[in-house]
Amino acid sequence: MSSHKAVVVFESMFGNTEQLAREIGDGLAADGWQVVLADVLFVRGADLSGCDLLVLGGPTHAFSLSRPGTRADAVRQGAPEARAQLGVREWLASIDAVFPSVAARPLVAVFDTRADRAQHWPGSAARKTAKVLRSHGFSVIDRPMSFYVQDVKGPLVAGERERARAWAAHLLELMRTPPARSA
């Protein structure tokens, strides 16, 4: 049994990013990791205590992380109003307070969801998240990962849940291989 802890923090307007976060968490837990799954609206400092791997995920809005205005647009399209209160962008603004000691910061992996038709468009929430985290001294252990939804509201493209599980297995391999940690 592993004594490692992963925290999967997600922002999800229509539930698609949350579904993938659950798959990633389940994939890590299947290897014996203690996993905390936390909606960005409700993540607590205690959830992050002792974290070895932080996985952050959110939807791509307007080629980047969501903003209050893009979340309000999602609400107008049917997303629950409560989901618009806070996003990964705002949570990242307080990341130094969440992890004040640079030496004690966990390794990080990032993912996003985006519309299938936007696969080759520039900009992604995951790439922006990775850039912000690196600027705050975090080590991002893998390239930002994108998963696809059929349309703004979803559903997930066929096979994306399985791809999320496979990515979790890949993250576990990276965690087991010390040279890959500095990527």
Q: What is the pLDDT of residues 72-95, one digit of tens each?
A: 999 999 999 999 999 999 999 999
Other residues' Cβ atoms within 10 Å of the Cβ of residue 121 = 11
Tell me how far apart the alpha carbons of residues 18 and 39 are, in angstroms, rounded to a whole number. Answer: 8
Mean pLDDT computed over 112-116: 93
62 vs 182, higher pLDDT: 62
| Largest CA-CA distance found in the chain, in angstroms, rounded | 46
Give the pLDDT of residue 183: 41
Say if residue 182's pLDDT is above 70.
no
Say if residue 2's pLDDT is above 90.
no
Which residue ranges form the domains of the chain, and what is each CATH number? 5-182 (3.40.50.360)
Tell me how far apart the alpha carbons of residues 47 and 43 are, in angstroms, rounded to a whole number. Answer: 7
Q: What is the pLDDT of residues 123-162, one digit of tens each?
A: 899 999 999 999 999 999 999 999 999 998 999 999 999 9
* Residue-averaged pLDDT of the chain: 93
Q: What is the pLDDT of residues 18-38, one digit of tens each?
A: 999 999 999 999 999 999 999
Helices (H), ranges, 66-159? 68-76, 88-93, 95-98, 125-135
How confident is residue 122, by pLDDT bands cut at 50, 70 and 90?
confident
Give the pLDDT of residue 103: 87
Comparing CA positions, the residue from 43, 59, 143 lying closest to residue 95 is 43
Mean pLDDT computed over 96-109: 92
Helix (H) or strand (E) holding 168: helix 160-176
How confident is residue 7, by pLDDT bands cut at 50, 70 and 90?
very high
